[in-house]
Amino acid sequence: MSTAAPTVGAPSGSLLDLIGNTPMVEATRLDTRPCRLFLKLESQNPGGSIKDRIALSMIAAAEREGFLKPGGTIVEATAGNTGLALALVGQAKGYKVLLVIPDKMSKEKIQHLRAMGADVRLTRSDVPHGHPEYYTDMAERLAQQIPGGFYVNQFANDANSAAHFETTGPEIWAQTGGRIDAFVAGIGSGGTITGIGRFLKSKGSKAEIILADPVGSTLAGLINDGVPGPEGSYTVEGIGQNFVPDTADVTLIDKAYSIPDAEAIATVRELLLKEGVLAGSSSGTLIAAALRWCREQTEPKTCVTFVCDTGAKYLSKVYNDAWLADQGLTERPIHGDLSDLITRRPEEGAVVTVGPDDTLDTAFKRMRGADVSQLPVLQDGRLIGILDESDIVHVLDTDEITRQERFAKPVSSAMTRDLDTVQVTEPLDALIPLFDRDRVAIVLDGQRFVGLITRTDLINHLSLNR
């Protein structure tokens, strides 16, 4: 295994020239038992993910074959990273980019795409392949309707797997000196595992090709048992399917692991804590599968997998404790009372509050920053009121003082002191009358403030505990 120091190249004239040749690092603080686990940091590509490689390859192929002409529009269905990569390549080459994205994708990806000038169309993530609102079906239809539109179709584009056969595979081979016993990847479009698997076979490698699949994707069952696995929903982005993409050559795959969301997310957070690597959710699935393989071995072997993209795109989800609690992806004690509905707890510092002497300007900024519409008002740790947006609007609805003076008024001048409280031991039904009056439920344990419950909290609780 090469331990040579990284080399520094001359300045590049384009970001596109910096795609590929990503570094590889050994995970030395994770429990890999007798094995060595190496992570190829595809997050170091200019667009922040492994998809930069295929975007460059597929657009170059479309230009060569005459499918994409100057002034044309690149159209694609994507979980986000391919879209970011296509936006990067399209921007550099002067094309318009239209992307169809499932609505479960992280807001960071969507904001990034729109900031790059892409036309982003959100569609449903709860419909199967073949449904008119499924993201690939919608993208293909839009490409046909747009003059000069080119549907990239990463799921059936030979230039996808070719990118990995020609670049990623040879890089892995060189970085490991050809000493590789297992290679782990997921299937989103199928290009990665197919291209690299074919390259390793072409070199005569005996490396096992391992599929890392989210629980809820049907592919692992197909590999291990010859029949599709049970279909379900999962929060990991970018990998897993309920069909085999045309790009994927599943005959190359030796074994598959089904990884639950909770395991993937715990793994990727452990990676950050122990190795300092900030990785995305699909990387958690891949590394969890790689660790399972490593821990099953009885003699020293070498395993390679990816950090597919940077975790900076998932700060609002994978690295957000409140979001994980909302999704039921954290281990939380069950008390059998209303506290089970409260995912943001004051004692954990997860509840945004305001004091009676704070200004309305301060309160509004906290509401906006936390994306909430009401704030508990605490004094010496005791709940004395609640402030919501309508209270602020009421104070602002006057011409007697300037706008600056209105926002400078204290919270105590606008907050509601007549509180709708419920005791933590009361049944769920006690919440309904409060919600019927458009109130938020303030939960107390005696006089102690436990937290707030909104309609969304109730619906989420019922959804997770059917």
Active site residue 282: yes
Q: Is 458 exposed, middle or buried (0-12, 13-18, 19+ CB in 10 A)?
A: middle
For helices 360-370 and 389-396, angle between their N-to-C axes, nearest 10 degrees: 140
Q: Are 258 and 215 in contact (CB under 8 A)?
A: yes
Residue 139, token pair as written in the block: 């993208």
Active-site option among 49, 205, 258, 282: 282
Q: How far apart are CA 99 and CA 119, in angstroms?
A: 6
Strands (E), 344-440: 374-379, 382-388, 421-423
Q: Is 40 exposed, middle or buried (0-12, 13-18, 19+ CB in 10 A)?
A: buried
Cβ neighbours for 454, distance < 8 A, ≥ 6 positions apart: 440, 441
Q: Are 107 and 101 in contact (CB under 8 A)?
A: no
Residue 11, token pair as written in the block: 């300045």
Residues pairing with 302 in the sheet: 36
Residue 80, phi-psi category: left (phi > 0), alpha (psi -120 to 50), beta (remainder):
left
Active-site option among 40, 51, 301, 313: 51
Q: Whose CA is closest to 184, among 254, 269, 268?
A: 254
Q: Whose CA is closest to 245, among 129, 142, 141?
A: 129
Cβ neighbours for 152, distance < 8 A, ≥ 6 positions apart: 58, 59, 62, 74, 75, 76, 82, 86
Q: Are 440 and 344 in contact (CB under 8 A)?
A: no
Q: How far apart are CA 184 and CA 166, in angstroms?
A: 18
DSSP percent split of the chain into helix, strand, coil, nearest 5:
40, 20, 40
Active site residue 51: yes
Residue 189, token pair as written in the block: 């479009």
Active site (catalytic) residues: 51, 282
